[in-house]
Amino acid sequence: MTTMAYEKSGGVLIVVHTAQAPSAIEWSKWVERMGRRDFDSILVVTKGGGPNGSQRTQAVNFWKGQSSTVKIAAITDASVVRGILTALHWLGFSDMKAFSSREISSALTYLSVLPDNQSLVLNMVMILQRDLAKSSHEQEKQVSL
């Protein structure tokens, strides 16, 4: 089952997760995609799914191998994900910040997305959520924007 989808909109690399953790293959492809470094920031939107322990280690190792990091905003209402984000912050992700689904505007401001581009980013989030729900046949409520 597909648990994550991603696409770039302007300078923002957007990743949308379902409530399930990504598979090892999905996560490896995501890390490979991040390796292109053709983006200024990352927007994560999740219903609760996220990397497991070994996948978090893979992400930490990826960023440790980079000359610089980028701002990462994570939109979630899941307390478990907020805990994961806190753990990642302790591991050196100081530019990562969690936001609730009601704080999408604040998340985009944190990522320095210009007001004229915010609707494009939000539209891409909705497209990814729709495509992910369609491909995974997931019936859970989408994160509201």
Residue burial 37-67, b: 16+ Cβ < 10 Å; e: rest: eebebbbbbbbbbbbeeebbebbbeebeeee
Q: What domain count does the chain have?
A: 1
| 60 within domain boundaries | yes
Range(s) of the domain holding residue 123: 4-136
| 129 within domain boundaries | yes
| 115 within domain boundaries | yes
| 123 within domain boundaries | yes
Cα three-residue angle 6-51-10, rounded to 5 degrees: 25
| 113 within domain boundaries | yes
Q: What pLDDT does residue 138 have? A: 43
| Radius of gyration for the alpha carbons in the chain, expressed in angstroms and rounded | 14
Cα–Cα dist 58/127, whole Å = 27
| 144 within domain boundaries | no
Low-confidence ranges of the chain (pLDDT < 70): 91-92, 136-145
| 145 within domain boundaries | no
| 143 within domain boundaries | no
Q: What is the pLDDT of residues 22-55, one digit of tens each?
A: 999 999 999 999 999 999 999 999 999 888 888 8
Q: What count of residues does the chain have?
A: 145
Cα–Cα dist 30/119, whole Å = 24
Q: What pLDDT does residue 45 have? A: 96
The domain that contains 97 carries what CATH number? 3.30.750.24
